[in-house]
A and B are shown apart, each in its own frame.
Chain A
């Protein structure tokens, strides 16, 4: 049982480059989300999805795009990378109501933008 799989684990980009962080889950979870983790700031929600075809913005959506064409996949796109996007990115999923169904996290992608 793979759970939530994120790729790549590490990435270095130059300012202005674009890339996609991949996230896949094999638990048939309806809810998926992307967080960024920065020192002293906890986790901040970037975008989330409550099901295929439905996405919405979180706390810090600027500079990122998402889509949800299937239940399993929820890629995060950086349109034009900036040094402020240097962070650790986590994808998470749950059955739906996360008060009762815990969030399952991937192991993260460490992104550096120079």
Chain B
């Protein structure tokens, strides 16, 4: 079946550091890929998405590129802020499926 693997962390960075959170997936066909973010005490919200190979999703300074050859969708940000502290979830929506598959989430803490 479809699955998502991501580094679980926690990841602790200083403000303005570069961020990478790795995400790889297993799926039949060509899934759509997503990053969701969960701020403390809140539900998840969509951060960015890519629906086909080589697409780059971007939002709020975060980027991720759909790499079919490496089945990856790594999340990056050039300069993190304290306000980026949250849990980040990689997810996929498989072709022919009706539901998401989520990774375990990566907790990010950014220190001032």
Chain A residues in contact with chain B, CB under 8 A? 4, 33, 35, 40-45, 48, 50, 56, 58, 90, 92, 98-100, 102-108
Q: Give bound CA distance, A56 to B105, whole Å.
A: 25
How far, in Å, is B49 (CB) from chain A's closest CB?
Answer: 7
Q: Give bound CA distance, A103 to B47, whole Å.
A: 11
How far, in Å, is A93 (CB) from chain B's closest CB?
Answer: 11
User: Are B93 and A98 closer than 8 Å at their CB atoms?
Assistant: yes
A44 CB contacts on chain B under 8 angstroms: 102
| Identity of the chain A residue whose Cβ is nearest the Cβ of B8 in the assembled complex | A40
Chain B residues in contact with chain A, CB under 8 A? 4, 8, 32, 34, 36, 41-46, 49, 51, 89, 93, 98-100, 102-105
A-B contact count (CB 8 A): 53
Q: Give bound CA distance, A45 to B103, whole Å.
A: 12
A100 CB contacts on chain B under 8 angstroms: 51
| Identity of the chain B residue whose Cβ is nearest the Cβ of A102 in the assembled complex | B46
Q: Give bound CA distance, A104 to B12, whole Å.
A: 28
User: Are A48 and B42 closer than 8 Å at their CB atoms?
Assistant: no
Q: Give bound CA distance, A39 to B103, whole Å.
A: 11
Q: Which of A4, A42, A50, A104 contacts B102 (CB 8 A)?
A: A42
User: Are B93 and A99 closer than 8 Å at their CB atoms?
Assistant: yes
User: Are A45 and B43 closer than 8 Å at their CB atoms?
Assistant: no
| Identity of the chain A residue whose Cβ is nearest the Cβ of B45 in the assembled complex | A105
Q: Give bound CA distance, A44 to B3, whole Å.
A: 12
Q: Which of A98, A99, A103 contacts B44 (CB 8 A)?
A: A103
Q: Give bound CA distance, A97 to B94, whole Å.
A: 12
| Identity of the chain A residue whose Cβ is nearest the Cβ of B34 in the assembled complex | A102
Q: Give bound CA distance, A106 to B44, whole Å.
A: 8
User: Are A50 and B98 closer than 8 Å at their CB atoms?
Assistant: yes
Q: Give bound CA distance, A58 to B98, whole Å.
A: 10
User: Are B99 and A42 closer than 8 Å at their CB atoms?
Assistant: no
User: Are B98 and A92 closer than 8 Å at their CB atoms?
Assistant: no
How far, in Å, is B92 (CB) from chain A's closest CB?
Answer: 10
